[in-house]
Amino acid sequence: MPKLINRIGVFTSGGDAPGMNACLRAVVRSAHEYSIAVTGILRGYEGMIEGEFSDLDARSVSNILQKGGTILKTARSDRFRTVEGRALAADNVRKHGIDALIGIGGDGTLRGASIFSREHDIPVICCPGTIDNDLFGTDQTIGFDTAINTAIDNIDRIRDTADAHDRLFLVEVMGRDAGFIALHCGIGGGAELVLIPETIQTMDEVKTCILDTMTLQSRSSIVIVAEGDELGGATQIADALKEDDRFAGIELRVCILGHTQRGGSPSASDRVLASRLGKAAVDSLVQGHRNVMVGIVNNRIRLTPSKDVWIHKKSINFDLLKLVELIR
Ligand code: ATP
């Protein structure tokens, strides 16, 4: 028989993602419906170690649904990677009468949660919050939709100037070692080529492809480069192209979209996803589930054991890559 949950601690961790606030709001208000008290933990695992706790009620999360970032703040914590750091965190959690935790973050957050809950027998449910969309067990992560919309908005602007000057642009997007953002931006932004870590392309193949599209189809071109591509980032690839005489007559520019992709008001889709996942996290705790990630697969809530999420790698849809090639 699982222990009764009287108080939940909630935190955001890892990189911030638009929609984390919407998820937090859903957690607090769903818990309220079950008469479960909620404590907010500031700055993720680091705040858990430092004892940065603050009670939250239904009104504390008013007017945050539409805000990017996270009102709980977030952090990356090296101390939480140590046994001693996690023991301090567990002491603080118990001291505040917290029976279970809900964490909103990416795969590192899940790894930490899994280890922590095994060591200290404190249940942790995670909501997938990362712009990278690289988590197994959910079709989409909180923040991904907003991030690709932001990136595509910028790519549209770059397209105007690329076209006006007949330039080649290498646009680098985020995604760590996954190509989900790049792939979706490639399709949504009409890129001529997408370079992602999940596929191996030689520099020669890349050069040939760019030269072909720039001579046969258009005098301008946009190449989307995932930051984790094995050929390097956009700057390194641009350097390699510049060394090749065949690119001598081509005006080449690099644009690294960087942190613009993380910020901003969450899209409608991210708000809905985050709200559904926040409620599902509370429901699953009440139903007695422990140490799982709540996700949505084929539009239905799915619970996946946390350790399975980081053991399995989510694969990209190769049909989408073929689509880029077909319609470029
Ligand atoms: P994003 O995908 O946005 O980067 P993330 O959750 O993957 O988010 P990380 O920095 O990788 O971000 O992880 C968040 C935190 O989780 C780390 O700062 C660390 O405190 C904790 N963490 C990650 N891996 C481990 C681990 N193996 N053991 C203990 N804690 C970990």
Residue-wise pLDDT for 55-70, tens only, equals: 999 999 999 999 999 9
Residue 145 has pLDDT above 60, yes or no: yes
CATH fold of 7-143+266-311: Rossmann fold (3.40.50)
Query: Any idea where the domains of the chain sit in the sequence?
Result: 7-143+266-311, 146-262
Task: Compute the distance from residue 276 Cα to the ligand 1 centre, in Å.
Answer: 23
Task: Compute the distance from residue 14 Cα to the ligand 1 centre, in Å.
Answer: 6
Residue 220 has pLDDT above 70, yes or no: yes
CB–CB of 261/227 below 8 Å?
Answer: no
User: Is it true that 7-143+266-311 and 146-262 share their CATH fold?
Assistant: yes
Using a 6 Å cutoff on CB, does residue 15 contact ligand 1?
yes
Residue 4 has pLDDT above 90, yes or no: no
Task: Compute the distance from residue 172 Cα to the ligand 1 centre, in Å.
Answer: 23
Task: Look up 132 and say whether it is catalytic.
Answer: yes
Q: Which of 16, 99, 107, 132 is catalytic?
A: 132
CATH fold of 146-262: Rossmann fold (3.40.50)
Using a 6 Å cutoff on CB, does residue 115 contact ligand 1?
yes
Q: Which atom of ligand 1 is nearest to the CA of 78?
A: 20
Residue-wise pLDDT for 149-202, tens only, equals: 999 999 999 999 999 999 999 999 999 999 999 999 999 999 999 999 999 899
